[in-house]
Structure 1
Amino acid sequence: MSSASSPLAVPHDAPYGVRNLPYGVFSTAGGPAARRVGVAYGDHVLDAGAAARATGAPADVAAALAAPSLNPLLAGGPALWDRTRAALTAWLTEDAHRAAVAPCLLPRADVTLHLPFEVADYVDFYASEHHAANIGRIFRPGSEPLTPNWKHLPIGYHGRAGTIVVSGTPVVRPCGQRKAAADPAPDFGPSRRLDIEAELGFVVGTPSPLGGRVALADADAHVFGVCLVNDWSARDLQSWEYVPLGPFLGKSFATSVSPWVVPLAALADARTAPPVRDTEPLPYLDDRAAHPPYGLDIALEVRLNGHVVARPPFAAMYWTYAQMLAHLTVNGASLRTGDFFASGTISGPERESRGALIELSWNGEQPLELPDGTRRSFLEDGDEVVISATAPGPDGTRIGLGEVSGRIAPARR
């Protein structure tokens, strides 16, 4: 096999190059049906467990990569994460491993990708000041757009772990109670205001004890990596049900995640300072001295039926993942391997950087005009939404976070 034709010959600036190495779980139709850990590399997926066996990997690395989900690797903690990443890098770059590893690389088009980890708990935050302020202006015109607590703590809600689905899973339009302001009473039926939320999700590996707290400085010892999220939202169901306890059926029907988990180690060049804050945080949330900073310069793109409708910037997020995790555990709530928390809608200051249709259409008052001549305020049956993202890599390159997609299926009566 010539070097030029080898799947190991991946350019250094490829989105899925050796500086990225995101993890997923896959199966193949023509080979073993069992799910196994894979690593995206160029246009291929490395069968990581097979590569570990072929190279005589250390027992702990081999055991983690032989599992049908990422959870054993997640549970191993930072030392195992580092050893595994170092082993993968060596297998894919060193000539001594070429003959053993090349047969373990499968064309990405030939594999089926699955939910990469077993989700324990799911929490969704509300960490974008631009998004929160826009929602406030839409629903509380003439009042302060942010609630009094917003700049003092990362607001969130506890979601439904069992309805997190992998990219490509159809999203059935939810039914529930709806009541417009002018309606005398609620009725029941399919959501008429189905929306998207472009988000970034964080996968927890190392657990923490009940009654303990995770300090800002310890966040990276618990967070394994990131993936893309679309937290589908039925705005009409949500607006009727959320008082006084918050989101419920308007959110719990589906949350889509991308199939690749990019390890935090791959995002070293994406670290950036969060926006300047005008409210001093309490000490457990004070990250002003953090080095490296906990902000992430990740650029998202949202496409609706193939048309780009938004480019949300994660660097604009007010609250960082370390602050979200610190607040999540400050009351003594424990972490479990496979816990998952998401950022909430990512929005920037311009209309084209808003990460939800409710903002892009200003609650339906300013429908989007798509290039194909159609108009959208909220999603219609058959619509497909694809969210993708990239982040800075070494030497001016960019790494890929893949994409999360979903198509709306009609409600089931």
Structure 2
Amino acid sequence: MPDSWLDLAPDTEFGLATLPYGVFSTDADPATRIGVAVGAHVLDLGAAARAVGAPFADAVAAPNLDTLLAAGRPVWDGVRAALTAWFTDPAFEDRIRPHLADRASVRLHLPFTVADYVDFYSSEHHAHNVGRIFRPEQEPLTPNWKHLPIGYHGRAGTVVVSGTDVVRPTGQRRPPGEQAPVFGPSTRLDIEAEVGFVVGTPSPMGERVPVDSFADHVFGVFLLNDWSSRDLQAWEYVPLGPFLGKSFATSVSPWVVPLAALEAARVEQPAQDPEPLPYLRGSEPWGLDLRLEVYLNGNRVSRPPFAGMYWTAAQQLAHMTVNGASLRTGDVYASGTVSGPDKEQRGCFLELTWGGREPLVLADGTERTFLEDGDEVVIRATAPGPDGATVHLGEVSGRILPAR
């Protein structure tokens, strides 16, 4: 990567290889606006674009990312190219520097309006483990699992930005050995370490989006925690699937990493057998070498590898629209729990504790099967960037509050 007049440290969290987008405000100015993270700074993108006279100034002079998302791939590429030039060419310093804020002092907000939310189930290791936990005498994978990316339709209105506290959900659950349900707070509250994707360019109802059109529609990538109440979910999910066990909260990181930043992280996905139907085949690899880490109260408890996901985000998008369902700007879809083959690579506590039968022992000697009130979960991730650089996806965090 070229040098910057900002004198960025080689190991800075958000270097020129990343340049993620978010929405921020300050104590001095509570109005929200689009920001770009670079090192320890946040650039007021709209103000900088006006100062430079950028042709895309109108697209980024907004209180959130919605207008930029809808502008499409040529504009996205133009903004990213301009940002790189602004931070590397000293001729821009006098016009750009006044619009930088200290990243530690800003308040971050939900970066875009969530139009819709779909969550997939695309890690073979996760699906295999869940099958073994709940159906030990049967085949762990359902017959359809290797033929299509399985998903469920979630609740867009409860997608919240990182740092938002999560209230323990209450609902019906059936205690072990009982025939009738009881009502009360969830006792098996869990996380799911996932990667989210946001749609920019919409598609008309009735038209399919091919696998190879993925990058024309998806703007960027972020971290996502699909909080899950395993006891509410277990009682309700037959026959229609997740509902109240998932809909109470989904946390997303405040920084959206543009898809263009992940070119060096693209890898071949695992071999698919049987071969998917033609509409799920593409000509380019869209596996992504993202390296997640999960922390519970400061203790790293897992390192899920995204490169091993059986179904890619491009295949998920194609499947999501193959029936003619339209895409809208701000549609979010998530990968499903990211898990690897090793115990320390499992992306949820259901797997890490094998259904609660093998508690985690933390550094202070305390044990966890599922989340307790006051627990904080943080998910972080990185990816390889160009020329040996590291792309940082930031973090998504949340703390559990008692049920109300």
- The residue correspondences of 1:93-108 to structure 2 (distance < 5 A) are 93-108=88-103
- Give per-residue Cα distances to partners, 1:211-251, cap 9 Å, x unaligned: 00000110110000000000000000000000000000000
Over residues 273-326 of structure 1, what are the superposed CA-to-partner deviations in whole Å (9 max), with x where a residue is unaligned? Answer: 001122110000123xx23x1000000000000000000000010000000000
Aligned to 1:397: 389
Q: Which of 23, 26, 38 is 2:24 aligned to?
A: 26
3-state SS of the aligned residue for 2:315? helix
1:284-363 matched pairs, under 5 angstroms: 284-287=279-282, 290-291=283-284, 293-363=285-355
| Paired position in structure 1 for 2:401 | 409
- Find the partner of 1:158 among 153, 160, 167: 153
Give how far 1:364 is off: 0.5
1:12 positional shift? 5.2
**2:203 match:** 208
Give the match's secondary structure for 1:200: strand
Task: Tell me the secondary structure at the aligned position of residue 394 of structure 2.
Answer: strand
Contact residue 7 and residue 44 of structure 1 kept, 8 A: no
- In structure 2, runs of 5+ residues without a counterpart are none
Q: How far apart in 1 are the matches of 2:366 and 2:176? A: 28
Distance 2:209 2:9 in 1: 39
What pairs up with 1:256-271 in 2 under 5 angstroms? 256-271=251-266
Instruction: For residue 251 of structure 1, give the secondary structure of its aligned residue in structure 2.
Output: helix
Match of 2:187 among 192, 200, 209: 192
Q: Does 1:182 align with 2:177?
A: yes
Cα deviation, 1:131-158, whole Å, max 9, x if unaligned, reads 0000000000021000000000000000
Contact kept, 8 Å, 2:17 with 2:390, in 1: the verdict is no
Instruction: Select between 148-157 and 391-400 the one with higher mean Cα deviation.
Output: 391-400
Counterpart in the other structure of 2:241:
246
Q: Out of 224, 229, 254, which is 1:229 matched to? A: 224
Q: Give the TM-score normalised by the residue count of structure 2.
A: 0.98
Contact 2:5 2:87 in 1 (8 A): no
The equivalent position to 2:135 in structure 1, one of 117, 137, 140, is 140
- CA distances 1:116-141 after superposition (whole Å, capped 9, x unpaired): 01000000000000000000000000
Q: Distance in 2 between matches of 1:135 and 1:309?
A: 18
Where does residue 275 of structure 1 map in the other structure? 270
2:362 equivalent in structure 1 = 370
Specify every segment of 5 or more residues in structure 1 that has no aligned partner in the other structure, as ranges: none
**Contact 2:198–2:332 (Cα < 8 Å) also in 1:** yes
Counterpart-to-counterpart distance in 1, 2:159 and 2:232: 19
- Specify the alignment match of 1:42 in structure 2: 39
Displacement of 1:13: 5.1
Counterpart selection for 2:86 from 83, 86, 91: 91
What amino acid does structure 2 have at the position aligned with 1:14?
T
CA contact 1:131–1:345 (8 Å) conserved in 2: yes
TM-superposed CA distance for 1:384, in Å, is: 0.2
Distance in 1 of aligned mates of 2:257 and 2:191: 22
Alpha-carbon distance between aligned partners in 1 of 2:301 and 2:40, rounded to the nearest angstrom: 27
- Residues 17, 389 of structure 2: 8 Å contact kept: no
**Offset of residue 346 of structure 1:** 0.1
The 2-side partners of 1:397 and 1:52 are apart by: 26
Aligned residues: 402
Match of 1:381 among 367, 373, 380: 373
- Contact 1:14–1:399 (Cα < 8 Å) also in 2: no
1:67-94 residue CA offsets vs partner (Å, 9 max, x unmatched): 0110100000001101111111111111
What secondary structure, in the 3-state scheme, does the structure 1 residue paired with 2:244 have?
A: coil
Distance 2:365 2:336 in 1: 30
Contact 1:7 1:105 in 2 (8 A): no
